[in-house]
Amino acid sequence: MSFGERFLHNPDLFPARAGGEVWGDREIVLELPGGPYRFGGLSRAQAAIVEDRFGELCRPPAAATRLAGSPHALHGLAAGGQEVSCLLFRVEAGAFRTFDLRGWEYSLDCDATPAALRLAGLDLIARLDWRPSLGGALWTPDGGGERFAGIFENFCRVLVAYRLVELGGAVLHSAGVVRHGAAFLFLGRSGAGKTTISAASLARGAEVLSDDINALLPAPGGAQVAKLPFTGDLGERRSTRRHLPLAAVLWLEKASADELTSLSRAAALACLFSCAPFVNSDPHRREALLANLARLLPPPGGGGPLAFNLRFSRAGTFWSILDEKWSQLKPAPS
Amino acid sequence: MVTIEASTVLKRRSDVRFRIVDDEAVVLRQSVAEVLVINEIGARILELADGCNPVSAWVDALLAGYEVERDTLLADVLSFAGELTEQGLLEPVGIETPTAAAIAP
């Protein structure tokens, strides 16, 4: 099946460039890692939904521009050089196929070229273009209905994933848990146990950044984990102010007993790569992704994070094992 | 199945990218979005598979780093080269497999 056929009646009519009739005159700036991200062309209803969904992460355009140079704008204008601009356009609902969604696992159709990425999904047509800086366009027939929040978030997930690779980072399917003043990233594909790990960590009083997707970014003192407002079942969805040094990456395996074993850097890199959504499937950018991850995961002796394979059980004792290991191996303060 | 002999000249497939990390290699197969980890000797073989020198020349290069009889090392390298070829990381020179990008639509 060729690109777009799953979702569109006529994929050949996919827009060749950002253009069309915008939904309205509203503009919102989102302060997400790698941003600010400026979205124009929203209707009043769409803007209200975005503001409700992202809360304090939404800024009036003027305030956001001022914030970009502040310490709150981690890896924003100062690191990336410019904001990311996106526009929202109308498209006829009849352009999309209809589905019986029961029992269906949703994934976007992606088609990458050196200069662009095309996306198709449920009520969603989008493209990212590098001309040479990154910009985006989203076409949807939903002017502010019940599906719009999900459509907008799905577009943002892809946008942030690509933006962070540009900035030397990555977005990772992972559970991010704060302990000992640092972030532990539990990696695994869907069903690996990220939400189970998160719930067990919450029960021990730890903070969960997101149980589904977190950002890894370069910083002068080493890799940092930045909170993203894209969560599964657990985690605050309206704030991303938390960013912490990366303590360890842990590859999850469900087992009958808890066990922690060291992971080589090469194996850890492979795990990180396999958990980097969207970009790891892009033949034009996955090499850059792998290079980023290698830089973000220097040898532990050089101050880099620890890497483990974690076999965990329902007994929930993994944190005791991990705490003990951490006390033995934690990097010396720089 | 390709038979690998001491005189066979192998090269990395065009969609293979790899990065040496400590003693191992992280290998990326671009055409299938697959990432693999291979051990130290596999990493050295990937480096040596330049499409110019036969497998026997790899053995000469590797002998300096391993305390092992040449025949034993040759057998191991031939076996490993066969595995890497089976996995689609190496191909004999002159028997090129089209990559995804080279396949006509």
Whole-number pLDDT of residue A237: 56
| Cis previous bond, A36, omega within 30 | yes
The top-scoring range by mean pLDDT among A230-244, A254-268, B83-97 is A254-268
Q: What is the rounded distance in angstroms from the CA atom of residue A158 to the CA atom of residue B71?
A: 52
Strand order in the sheet with B9-12: B50-54, B9-12, B90-92
Tell me the pLDDT tens digit for each residue of A61-89.
765 443 333 333 333 333 445 899 999 99
Across the interface, do B28 and A273 touch by the CB < 8 Å criterion?
A: yes
d(CA A141, CA B55): 60
- The answer to whether the Cβ–Cβ distance between B35 and A265 falls below 8 Å is no
Q: How far is B30 from chain A (nearest CA, A)?
A: 6
ipTM: 0.74
| pLDDT tens-digit map of A113-147 | 999 999 999 999 999 999 888 999 999 999 999 99
Length of chain B in terms of residues written = 105
Q: Which chain A residue's Cα is nearest to B36?
A: A270
Q: Identify the pLDDT of residue A130.
A: 94
Using the beta-carbon criterion (under 8 Å), do B26 and A290 form an inter-chain contact? yes
- A100: confidence class by pLDDT, cuts 50, 70, 90: confident
With an 8 Å Cβ cutoff, the interface of chain A facing chain B consists of 264-267, 269-270, 273-274, 280-281, 283, 286-287, 290-291, 294, 299
Coil, helix or strand at residue B81? helix
Peptide bond before residue A132 is cis, with ω within 30 degrees of 0 = yes
Contacts B26 to A, Cβ<8 Å? 266, 269-270, 273, 290, 294
pLDDT of A68: 39
